[in-house]
Structure 1
Amino acid sequence: MHRILVVGAAAGGLSVVEALRRAGHEGTIMLVGDEPRMPYDRPPLSKQLLSGQWTSSRLALRSEADIRALGLDLSLGVPASALDLARQVVTLADDTRVPYDALVVATGVRARRLPGTDGVTGVHTLRSLPDSLALKDRLRPGRHLVIVGAGFVGAEVAATARGLGVRVTLLESGPMPLALAVGEAAGRFLTSLHQQHGVHIHTHAAVTEIVHAGGTVAGVRLADGPLVPADDVLVAIGSKPNTEWLAGSGLADHDGVGCDEYCAAADGVYGVGDVARWYNPLFGTAMRVEHRTNATEQGLAVARNLLNPQARKPFAPVPYFWSDQYDTRFQAYGCLRDHDEALVLDADPADRRLLVAYRKNDRLVGVLAAGTSPKILRAWRALIATRTPWTTAVNDSTAA
């Protein structure tokens, strides 16, 4: 396998190429990225960079010298536009045709937008470094930021903006922030946290229009009538996998690149990171995980399977994510979405402490915590990894 092509130059793609070199692969590795910048970290975009604690130079995942040392054929700022599986060729936006022996798809996701908002000053999404810098320039004390969507990105930006003295209104289409993802108990905890910091939360909010005058945003119109005035609007309503360039290849569907338990999408083609929907045998289901840790771990697994096709190993992690909001860090292990039960084991909003366990069928499948010791979290992670029955896990935690 002489020529390996990695399309996507963020954390997942970088993890693949570094692991290939560490394992001794001496053939050609080409890394293609749609942004002109060297690979950079995205979680700080909604926190440290947006708040001004960090400058953009701190986001670099590796120095330019470290990237050069990998001996890559590097193509940045020119996205992939098409894939010919039969001929094993990827076409780039500048019509360059790149042949490969093995292909890794790591093209990530992009923020969803609301119709009619393109080119409107003061309407933002948050996925890239330019997105974060553009929003940062607008966040000043006394201004009003309306956030459409109270997922983790929306909640993190709300916390950052409040720290900058910005008035914040959070619009959530459901009964409370993050209820579908982490359950009502955790949603109530998050709601209380934001309300304590002065965020106005409007639930069951159906947005009908982003109102603008003279090309500048003026507010958000809701279905029940009121106009919520805004100096800026952040649209944080989720993401879409970057798979348009795979049209006609047979690899992509409505929810990313479908992969098996080895992260293989086709013979010699693998998926990595936010764009990859792979079968996780630990949970017996396909999942697509948009978290930094998963992208890195999946990159390592794919590099190993690429170089050892006769001894491939399934990628069966316990997914992990974290979210920093105000002075509280939320951490979670496992598969929380589509749970059958969310059991609150400890909750003290005043002390910023929370521990919730999640059941699917008769198994413990996840845990979410705030203000809990790392030792306790590691113990819960071990129970998830060993497929511990729900009753056993809960009884053991009660006894402890």
Structure 2
Amino acid sequence: MAQEYKLKGVTSLGLQPGEKHEVEVEGLDAKVLLVNVGGTVQAVGPRCTHYGAPLVKGVLGTNGKLTCPWHGACFNAKTGDVEDAPALDPLPVFKTIERDGAVYITGDADSIKRGHRAPKFKCAAAGGDKVLVVGGGSGALGLVEGLRGGGYMGPITVITNEGYLPIDRPKLSKALLTDLAKLQWRDEAWYKSGSVEFVHDEVTGIDFSTKTVTTKTGGKFAYNKIILATGGTPRTLPLPGFRELGNIFTLRNVHDAKKINEAIGDKGKRIVVIGSSFIGLEVAVATSNGNDVTVVGMEKAPLERVLGAKVGNIVRKTIEGKGVKFFLSAGVEKAEPSPSNPGTVGSVHLKDGTKLEADLVILGVGVTPATQYLRDNRAIQLEQDGSLKVDEAFSVSGLEGVYAIGDIATHPYRGPGGNGKLVRIEHWNVAQNSGRAVAAHILNPSRVPEFYTPVFWSALGAQLRYCGNTMASGWDDVVLQGDPDQGKWVAYYAKGETVVAMASMGMDPAMAQCAQLMSLNKMPSKSQLQAGLDVLSLGRPQ
């Protein structure tokens, strides 16, 4: 039951537009976040509904967007609604009133304590267009939440071959977590409440003329609109031993993580990770406690392709602090069996003659678009890398009512330096936001898609934050601020004077600020940053 609660230590609603302040609620073990949005002061839940980041350390722009400082989730500070991934639940909103030298909020105690509210999702599907989703990852999750949250009443079917409901996939490489109760974002009852049917099967073909899908078990499904969201397939190494020997793993799903955990057992294992990009490095850190972990990479520095050698070596130092060893600028020649167990790997041999003893090997050498089921389909044309070309609304070129999202979508990039160049971005947030974009287009085809800044994060001994994109324009210089030795730094990637991306450790609000500035095309120039400009000194993005 709603009632008034006094805010501790607050005597007036004197916040200026754009200001925010976290305060305690008297009589409850709870806090709220006071925000002034467009001259109106109200209270919202104080923590991001994704992983619980304190939103007081986030960024509130003049556009009313409240951006999480950890992972880039955005909320409408006026309504509390989710605007950008990875948050799913909206924030509760509480009216405020100033009376007799004190400030009160109105709400029910449970809602104030929870700090989040259930999104609009319940639905009894009653006819209308049939929406079919192929794939059950982050993009599918964003799509179904966006459709039901926007009032879509038609039937929704999701076909996935993973064997479970949509999960928090980043936790696989960051923690090798396998407990579905902790991984699945929503349970089966949730999806049933919204008339979302999950079919655990594999799509083998699509007839775009008759709008039907066939599956491995012989199922047939009709659709009016279809969203292809099959993600990526991990690459393997076409080298001697890597396809024949056991205990050589890729990591994409819960089944993979379980196999790796079983192979590690009671720890004390010699683990060779091949690949010095994000998945490889996250797995190396996740397995480093109690094991002997070595990373083999072709680059001169970890993450060199994305972050450059200078910043990559800063990250390397952080990871080495976890006991991980590196062999870089290295080529792999073969894997050889264990003398005691010839069916499993015993060592990895590098091209320079180095022999690395291994009880197990984990491959982190990238993914390819999972579009095998489309390769013989004459109605659709795949790009050279196997992806699908789409427009800003993620509609597949030349096919009505067909969308592609996530890892399989090559789409125009409108961020700084992008100029609409086609890119394919393999980020969890991008997949989920593209699902939300498709939902918005289905609900209102005349709506112009809104650009959102790509954001990702990585657990590399410390939390790395990144926003923007360098694939569309490339970059020719990097501006480094902060103190890498203290684990607090920001790197800005520039093409000419245009800052196209940034990465940081230990300075989380900077990422949230840059994500908003990039979305507004208001990032400062390279020269300004070289002169020492702190992006947080600019105040709220406007």
Aligned to 1:252: 382
For the residue of structure 1 that corresponds to 2:260, the secondary structure is helix
For the residue of structure 1 that corresponds to 2:503, the secondary structure is strand
Matched AA of 2:513: A
Please list every run of 5 or more consecutive structure 1 residues that lacks an aligned counterpart in the other structure: none
**Residues 300 and 363 of structure 1, relative CA distance in 2, 3 Å threshold:** same
Q: Which residue of the other structure, out of 61, 86, 107, is the alignment partner of 2:185?
A: 61
Instruction: Specify the structure having the higher radius of gyration (Cα).
Output: 2
Whether the 8 Å contact between 2:475 and 2:500 is mirrored in structure 1 is no
**Residues 377 and 202 of structure 1, relative CA distance in 2, 3 Å threshold:** same
**Residues 288 and 397 of structure 1, relative CA distance in 2, 3 Å threshold:** farther
For the residue of structure 1 that corresponds to 2:491, the secondary structure is strand
Whether the 8 Å contact between 1:5 and 1:103 is mirrored in structure 2 is yes
Aligned to 1:264: 395
Whether the 8 Å contact between 1:9 and 1:31 is mirrored in structure 2 is yes
Q: Which residue of the other structure, out of 144, 154, 158, is the alignment partner of 1:17?
A: 144
Q: Say whether 1:137 aligns with 2:273.
A: no
Listed one character per residue, the Cα deviations across residues 139-160 of structure 1 (whole Å, up to 9, x for unaligned) are 3432110000011111111111
Listed one character per residue, the Cα deviations across residues 18-52 of structure 1 (whole Å, up to 9, x for unaligned) are 221222222221111012212211111122345xx
Q: Which residue of the other structure, out of 218, 235, 243, is the alignment partner of 2:371?
A: 243
**Residues 60 and 9 of structure 1, relative CA distance in 2, 3 Å threshold:** same
Whether the 8 Å contact between 2:148 and 2:194 is mirrored in structure 1 is yes
Whether the 8 Å contact between 1:151 and 1:237 is mirrored in structure 2 is yes
Query: Displacement, 1:161?
Result: 1.4
Inter-partner Cα distance in structure 2 for 1:79 and 1:317: 31
Q: Say whether 1:281 aligns with 2:417.
A: no
Q: Which residue of the other structure, out of 471, 478, 482, is the alignment partner of 1:343?
A: 478
Inter-partner Cα distance in structure 2 for 1:55 and 1:100: 33
Matched AA of 2:171: P
Query: Displacement, 1:398?
Result: 2.5
Q: Which residue of the other structure, out of 432, 445, 458, is the alignment partner of 1:323?
A: 458
Query: Displacement, 1:132?
Result: 0.8
For the residue of structure 2 that corresponds to 1:138, the secondary structure is helix
Inter-partner Cα distance in structure 2 for 1:238 and 1:114: 11
Q: What's the RMSD between the two structures over aligned residues?
A: 2.0
For the residue of structure 2 that corresponds to 1:185, the secondary structure is helix
Aligned to 1:124: 249
Listed one character per residue, the Cα deviations across residues 60-118 of structure 1 (whole Å, up to 9, x for unaligned) are 11011101112123211x11111222222222112322221111011111211123534
Inter-partner Cα distance in structure 2 for 1:381 and 1:231: 42
Listed one character per residue, the Cα deviations across residues 221-267 of structure 1 (whole Å, up to 9, x for unaligned) are 11112221111100110001110111223242224221111111132
**Residues 373 and 35 of structure 1, relative CA distance in 2, 3 Å threshold:** closer
Whether the 8 Å contact between 1:342 and 1:356 is mirrored in structure 2 is no
Aligned to 1:29: 156
**Residues 279 and 312 of structure 1, relative CA distance in 2, 3 Å threshold:** same
Inter-partner Cα distance in structure 2 for 1:35 and 1:134: 15
Inter-partner Cα distance in structure 1 for 2:525 and 2:214: 49
Please list every run of 5 or more consecutive structure 2 residues that lacks an aligned counterpart in the other structure: 1-127, 538-542
Whether the 8 Å contact between 1:41 and 1:61 is mirrored in structure 2 is yes
Listed one character per residue, the Cα deviations across residues 200-228 of structure 1 (whole Å, up to 9, x for unaligned) are 11111111212224211011111112221
Inter-partner Cα distance in structure 2 for 1:67 and 1:356: 41
Whether the 8 Å contact between 1:298 and 1:315 is mirrored in structure 2 is no
Whether the 8 Å contact between 1:209 and 1:220 is mirrored in structure 2 is yes
Aligned to 2:66: none
For the residue of structure 1 that corresponds to 2:227, the secondary structure is strand
Inter-partner Cα distance in structure 2 for 1:395 and 1:202: 33
For the residue of structure 2 that corresponds to 1:134, the secondary structure is helix
Listed one character per residue, the Cα deviations across residues 290-309 of structure 1 (whole Å, up to 9, x for unaligned) are 22211221111100101212
For the residue of structure 2 that corresponds to 1:114, the secondary structure is coil
Q: How does 1:62-77 map to 2 (within 5 A)?
A: 62-76=186-200
Q: Say whether 1:302 aligns with 2:438.
A: yes
Inter-partner Cα distance in structure 1 for 2:271 and 2:498: 41
**Residues 361 and 269 of structure 1, relative CA distance in 2, 3 Å threshold:** farther
Q: Which residue of the other structure, out of 176, 180, 183, is the alignment partner of 2:305?
A: 180
Q: Say whether 1:369 aligns with 2:504.
A: yes
Give the total of aligned pairs.
392
